[in-house]
Structure 1
Amino acid sequence: MSLTSAATLAALDKTGPRRITDLAVAEGVTQPAMTVLVRVMEESGLVERKGDPSDKRVTLVCLTEAGASYVRTRRQAGVDAYARLIDELTGDEVEALAAALPALLHLAELESHAR
């Protein structure tokens, strides 16, 4: 799976259903490219298109259960990989990471507000 596909699935998991145009802007690709990407993910059973209940002219891209499961599995694999790496650090290095966590969390918060 491409990084853009994985990022799009993660965005849908975080924000809920979105328009293709909004997904394209968020991922920095053209609307036609996102349309193709959504079609491929739809054929793979990871997303589905549904009408927007508040505006029948709008189609939203939604995660399916398979898509949500993929995101959870990928996220857990990342957690497991970091846990294995952290186990290789010295005690001082683990303490340094723990001390840096507030700043890292702040960076993540700033990044989420920038979108």
Structure 2
Amino acid sequence: MSLTSAATLATLDRTGPRRITDLAVVEGVTQPAMTALVRVMEESGMVERRGDASDKRVTLVCLTEAGASYVRTRRQAGVHAFERLIGELTGDEVEALVAALPALKHLAELESQDREGPKQ
């Protein structure tokens, strides 16, 4: 799976259903490229398109259970990789990481806000 596909699935997991145009902005690709990407992910069962109950003209891209499972598996693999690597650090290095966690969390929140773009 491409990095853009994986990132798009993670965005849908984090933010819920989105319009293709919103996903294109968040992922930094053109709308036609996102349309093609969504088509491929739809064919593989990772996402589905649904109508928006509040606006019948709008189609939303939604994560399927298979897509959500993929995101969970990927995140868990990342957690295990970090656990293994952190286990190789010295006590002082682990303390430095713990001290940096509030700043890292704030950076992640800022990045998430920037990537989400305009709300629906």
- TM-score (ref. length: structure 1): 0.97
Separation in structure 2 between the aligned mates of residue 30 and residue 114 of structure 1, nearest angstrom: 17
The match for 2:72 is 72
Letter in 1 for 2:2: S
Q: Return the alpha-carbon distance in structure 2 between the equivalents of residues 6 and 114 of structure 1.
A: 18
Structure of greater relative contact order (alpha carbons < 8 Å, 6+ residues apart): 2
Per-residue Cα deviation, 1:9-47 (whole angstroms, up to 9, x for no partner)? 000000000000100011111111000000000000000
Where does residue 21 of structure 1 map in the other structure?
A: 21
**In 2, distance between residues paired with 1:28 and 1:92?**
38
Letter in 1 for 2:70: Y
1:81 deviates by: 0.3
The corresponding residue for 2:118 is none
Partner of 1:30: 30
Query: Structure 2, unaligned stretches of length 5 or more?
Result: 116-120
What's 1:61 paired with?
61
Deviation at 1:54, TM superposition (A): 0.5
SS in 1 for 2:79: helix
Give the superposed CA RMSD: 0.7
Superposed counterparts of 1:1-115, under 5 Å: 1-115=1-115
Give the SS at the match of 2:62: strand
Q: Identical aligned pairs, as a percentage?
A: 87
User: How many residue pairs align between the two structures?
Assistant: 115
Runs of 4+ in structure 1 off by over 3 angstroms are none
SS of the equivalent of 1:80 reads helix
CA offsets per residue over residues 72-105 of structure 1, 9 Å max, x none? Answer: 0000000000000000101111111111111111
The CA deviation at 1:114 is 2.5
Rounded Cα–Cα distance in structure 2 between residues aligned with 1:5 and 1:32:
14
Query: Within 2, Cα distance between the matches of 1:52 and 1:61?
Result: 10
Instruction: Report SS of the residue matched to 2:109.
Output: helix
Structure 1 gaps, min length 5: none
